């Protein structure tokens, strides 16, 4: 998969190199089950038409730019994680548009012309609530018209879980409340964050969001080592591991990942070790090498 960063200075260059494609549109933070439905729909159409599958996302988040930095967006994953998952989903080209005020000021018609038609897009796929253009005036019901009737358009309907819309916003809300055990039904996988070990605490890397303060059962992975442990989230960027043997294989500045399984309460702590994903002891050391 090729990743292309688009901005006003290089847009014409990539327009000239573009080939016909089916494009999935969205911010895709977290690449949850709803996002996957959009990408899988575009993937099937690309296979049917024997065309490239492209994805277009934006960075930074529009809310940050339009609020002049006053609105803080809690990202669910950084761009390299998106790249990895898009590649696994069969995407050929991942376009990342530099979202700034100039881009935000484009009319819906100019967005369709410059960022879709001129980039070789013949069919656009997005969620039912996708918007584009100045003040988000464009939507999936008018995209074909905004393209001069040229684009084929597929609108993907809302995806729900137990009557609740699956969205990045709902996932952030569950994280803030510590409901990490609910996330696999929304993400299609356990939530994972990248961290660094500074010798006393785990510091979350940029563009991830930690669950709310409290104690959690997690799997810590570093290289070919993994271990089920408990961590205490003490703030928005820091966790204290409740296990001293971490020092056996974690050196200062070691990059690790944490996979979040369940928030622990006093009544759950004694039963959490009986779950299938844990071994005979919650402090068991696992070697994956």
pTM for the model: 0.86
Any idea what the Cα angle at residue 125 is, between residues 31 and 66, rounded to 5°? 65
Q: Which contiguous run of DSSP H or E holds residue 254?
A: strand 254-264
- 131 shares its domain with 220: no
CA atoms within 13 A on the CB side of 208: 21
Rounded to 5°, the CA angle 279-282-283 comes to 110
Residue 184 belongs to domain spanning = 179-287
pLDDT of residue 249: 57
- pLDDT (0 to 100) of residue 201: 82
Q: Which of residues 123, 157, 191 is at a domain's end? A: 157
> Does residue 211 contact residue 175 with C-beta atoms inside 8 Å?
yes
- 8 A C-beta contact, residue 29 and residue 75: yes
Residues 13, 130, single domain; the answer is yes
Q: Does 148 lie in the same domain as 18?
A: yes
Please count the structural domains in the chain: 2
184 assigned to some structural domain? yes
Instruction: Show the low-confidence residues of the chain (pLDDT under 70).
Output: 243-254, 266-289
Any domain includes 170: no
108 part of a folded domain? yes
Q: Is residue 163 part of a domain?
A: no
Q: Which CATH number belongs to the domain containing residue 150 in this structure?
A: 3.40.50.620
The answer to whether position 166 is within a domain reads no
Report d(CA 23, CA 46) in Å as an integer: 9
Whether residue 61 lies inside any domain: the answer is yes
Whichever domain contains 211, its CATH number is 2.40.30
In-domain check, residue 26:
yes
């Amino acid at each position: 998969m090729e990743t292309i960063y688009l901005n006003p200075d290089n847009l014409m260059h990539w327009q000239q190199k573009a080939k016909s494609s089916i494009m999935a549109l969205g911010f895709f933070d977290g690449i949850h089950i709803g996002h996957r439905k959009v990408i899988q729909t575009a993937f099937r159409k690309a296979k049917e038409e024997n065309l490239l599958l492209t994805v277009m996302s934006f960075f930074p988040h529009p809310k940050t730019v339009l609020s002049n930095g006053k609105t803080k967006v809690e990202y669910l994953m950084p761009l390299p994680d998106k790249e990895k998952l898009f590649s696994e989903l069969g995407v050929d080209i991942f376009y990342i548009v530099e979202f700034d005020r100039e881009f935000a000021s484009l009319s819906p018609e100019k967005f369709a012309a410059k960022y879709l038609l001129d980039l070789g897009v013949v069919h656009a796929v997005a969620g039912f609530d996708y918007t584009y253009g100045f003040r988000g005036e464009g939507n999936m019901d008018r995209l074909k018209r905004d393209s001069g009737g040229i684009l084929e358009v597929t609108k993907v309907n809302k995806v729900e879980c137990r009557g609740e819309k699956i969205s990045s916003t709902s996932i952030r809300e569950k994280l803030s409340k510590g409901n990490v055990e609910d996330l696999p039904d929304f993400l299609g996988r356990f939530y994972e964050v990248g961290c660094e070990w500074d010798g006393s605490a785990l510091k979350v890397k940029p563009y991830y969001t930690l669950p709310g303060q409290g104690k959690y059962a997690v799997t810590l992975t570093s290289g070919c080592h993994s271990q089920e442990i408990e961590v205490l989230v003490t703030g928005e960027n820091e966790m204290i591991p409740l296990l001293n043997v971490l020092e056996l294989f974690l050196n200062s500045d070691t990059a690790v990942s944490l996979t979040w399984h369940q928030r622990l309460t006093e009544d759950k702590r004694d039963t959490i070790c009986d779950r299938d994903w844990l071994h005979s002891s919650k402090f068991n050391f696992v070697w994956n090498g």
